Amino acid sequence: MKRKTREYDQLKGQWAERASPEDLDFIRSNVLKDVLRTDRTHPYYAGSEDNPHLTALHDLLTTYAVTHPQISYCQGMSDIASPILAVMDNEAHAFICFCGIMKRLEGNFQVDGEVMSLKFSHLKLLLQYSDPEFYAYLLSRGADDFFFCYRWLLLELKREFAFEDALRMLEITWSSLPPDPPEKEVELVGPPARLSESGQPLAMHFDRLVRRHNLAKVLHRAKALFADYLQSEVWDSEEGDEAAAESPAVS
Amino acid sequence: MAYAYLFKYIIIGDTGVGKSCLLLQFTDKRFQPVHDLTIGVEFGARMITIDGKQIKLQIWDTAGQESFRSITRSYYRGAAGALLVYDITRRDTFNHLTTWLEDARQHSNSNMVIMLIGNKSDLESRREVKKEEGEAFAREHGLIFMETSAKTASNVEEAFINTAKEIYEKIQEGVFDINNEANGIKIGPQHAASNATLTGNQGGQQAGGGCC
């Protein structure tokens, strides 16, 4: 861990070598705008804009962007990094964890949107199975693109719960993914950049519930749904196999 | 609450120009300096009165970052009005207007009313874009224009309401086909009740949005 921390400190000193001044400016200003709008009501990030935790979150995300030019920085990443930093309370350690979780989540942030499309199709499939009546309603209202669930999927539901509940929920979902330990140690640098390169009032209802969902109830329901799902025919089908890889196992 | 019409709006523009703050000022009459950045699309609604008629505005607030563009585009369709917002203290947000406008025109219906908004007018000392430049851009592209401050609430009501007035006038002139929901306009139960020829639409299903 000490060695990795030194490695992080080195990478953090290499922003100017790894990115052009224009790119670096662009990344830094985007990251800063978002860091100032991420979990600021939580005591760890509250107060004035020179709160050192805000600087740490900014530096962590900027370092990630310049060392992972294929992914760079995208909105949403600050919401994923923020709870990690608040828990680790150490910028370098948080960076290492963030690199680890981004191996699983980086697809969410790819420009082509393919991974997100797949997640939407899984969600559709799951809802069709678990609540056909509600699914039919969404269909009748032209909301079957499920775009109103974008934030849920991109941020792994992090924003839907109060901060402390979100920590517990992320721990459950992240630890229940199929084990995929890195063969060597966690890489802190990504591959180099490629050279060329109907929402409804229902949705409004969900916006009002930001940070207000009841975690205990949701987990209980998720557990029941998952148990039910494991016994279903969908589970046996090919589509079910795909969907299962995305579905949170709650135990 | 019963309404005569429902208009759908979309708010677009670069990240950090104050789109969500404008919406919050309009729907809740407050300014929240510390708030979450918008991911994807968020929603708001408020009732207004034009020409003695209750009109419900249903507003889609989009994320400004490029990576969300594919989903924000899908909301252009079905919008009767758009607020295109830049930040008067950041020249780059003004320079990007052409791209936003092209995008909006390409993906929306051709009658969509677009209001150009220069936000953060309270920050006069940091101004980078002159009011005249905003006016000239609006004139050149056939947009309505206003400078607003989501912080002091200056012109916020007017921006949303004037857009609605323009849409309302277009309805009166028969420019909008109000029976086609894809235009972002719905006839509500209030209107339907007072005008038997216009019944048969789905406005009455908007039960209890609880927005205002």
User: Chain B residue with minimal CA distance to A38?
Assistant: B36
Do A201 and A236 lie in a common domain?
no
- Among candidates A33, A199, A201 on the partner chain, residue whose Cβ is nearest the Cβ of B75: A199
Closest CA of chain A from B139, distance in Å: 31
How many domains is chain A built from?
A: 2
Note whether residue B137 is domain-resident: yes
Do A169 and A231 lie in a common domain?
no
Model pLDDT for residues A80-92, shown as the tens digit of each residue? 999 999 999 999 9
Note whether residue B146 is domain-resident: yes
Higher-scoring residue by pLDDT: A243, B32: B32
Note whether residue A32 is domain-resident: yes
Q: For residue A106, list chain B residues with Cβ-Cβ distance below 8 A.
A: none
Model pLDDT for residues B173-207, shown as the tens digit of each residue? 988 887 777 788 888 876 655 544 444 444 444 44
Average pLDDT for residues A76-81, to the nearest whole number?
97
Q: Locate tokens 């290492």: which residue?
A: A96
Could you list the beta-strand ranges (E) of B162-211.
Answer: 185-187
Can you give the pLDDT at residue A1? 86
Q: For residue B78, list chain A residues with Cβ-Cβ distance below 8 A.
A: 198
DSSP character string of B76-135: HTT-SEEEEEEETT-HHHHHTHHHHHHHHHHHS-TT-EEEEEEE-TT-GGG--S-HHHHH
Highest mean pLDDT among A227-236, A241-250, B198-207: A227-236
Residues of A contacting chain B (CB within 8 angstroms): 30, 33-34, 37-41, 74-76, 78-79, 109, 111, 113, 145, 147-148, 150-151, 154-155, 159, 198-199, 201, 203-204, 207, 210
Do A173 and A192 lie in a common domain?
yes
Q: Do A203 and B206 touch (CB under 8 A)?
A: no
What's A199's DSSP letter?
-
Can you give the pLDDT at residue B192? 57
Q: Are B116 and B42 in contact (CB under 8 A)?
A: no
Buried b (16+ CB within 10 A) or exposed e, A28-61: bebbbbbbbbbbbeeebbeeeeebebbebbbbbb
Q: How far apart are the first and last CA of chain A?
A: 30
Higher-scoring residue by pLDDT: A149, B72: A149
ipTM over 0.85: no
> What 3-state DSSP class applies to A208?
helix
How many domains is chain B built from?
A: 1
The answer to whether residue A248 scores a pLDDT higher than 70 is no
Do A30 and A102 lie in a common domain?
yes
Reported confidence tier of residue A234, pLDDT bands at 50, 70, 90: low
Q: How many CB contacts within 8 angstroms connect chain A with chain B?
A: 77
Range of B16's domain? 5-190
Can you give the pLDDT at residue A208? 67
Residue B196 CB partners (closer than 8 Å, separation 6+): none
CA A72 – CA A108 distance, rounded (Å) = 13
Q: Which long-range contacts (CB under 8 A, 24 or more apart) does A48-54 make?
A: A53/A85, A53/A86
Note whether residue A34 is domain-resident: yes
Range of A7's domain? 2-111+163-208
Highest mean pLDDT among A132-146, A151-165, A189-203, B170-184: A151-165
Note whether residue B78 is domain-resident: yes
Can you give the pLDDT at residue B201? 42
Model pLDDT for residues A169-222, shown as the tens digit of each residue? 898 888 876 666 666 777 778 777 655 434 445 666 667 677 777 888 878 887
Note whether residue A240 is domain-resident: yes
The answer to whether residue A165 scores a pLDDT higher than 80 is yes
CATH number at residue A14: 1.10.8.270
The answer to whether residue A245 scores a pLDDT higher than 60 is no
Average pLDDT for residues A134-145, to the nearest whole number?
86
Residue A246 CB partners (closer than 8 Å, separation 6+): A118, A119, A122
Residue B34 tokens read as 């510390």
Note whether residue A157 is domain-resident: no
Note whether residue A156 is domain-resident: no
Note whether residue B40 is domain-resident: yes
Q: For residue A44, list chain B residues with Cβ-Cβ distance below 8 A.
A: none
One-letter amino acid for residue A132 of the chain: P
Note whether residue B56 is domain-resident: yes
Residue A114 CA to its chain's centroid (Å): 15
B201: left (phi over 0), alpha (psi -120 to 50) or beta: beta
Q: Do B68 and A155 touch (CB under 8 A)?
A: no
Can you give the pLDDT at residue A159? 93
Q: For residue B34, list chain A residues with Cβ-Cβ distance below 8 A.
A: 37, 40-41
Can you give the pLDDT at residue A177? 66
User: Per-residue pLDDT for chain B (212 aa), expressed as one digit of tens each?
Assistant: 689 999 999 999 999 999 999 999 999 999 998 889 999 888 899 999 999 999 999 999 998 887 777 777 888 888 999 999 999 999 999 999 999 999 999 999 889 999 999 999 999 999 999 999 999 999 999 999 999 999 999 999 999 999 999 999 999 998 888 777 778 888 887 665 554 444 444 444 444 434 44
Average pLDDT for residues A17-42, to the nearest whole number?
95
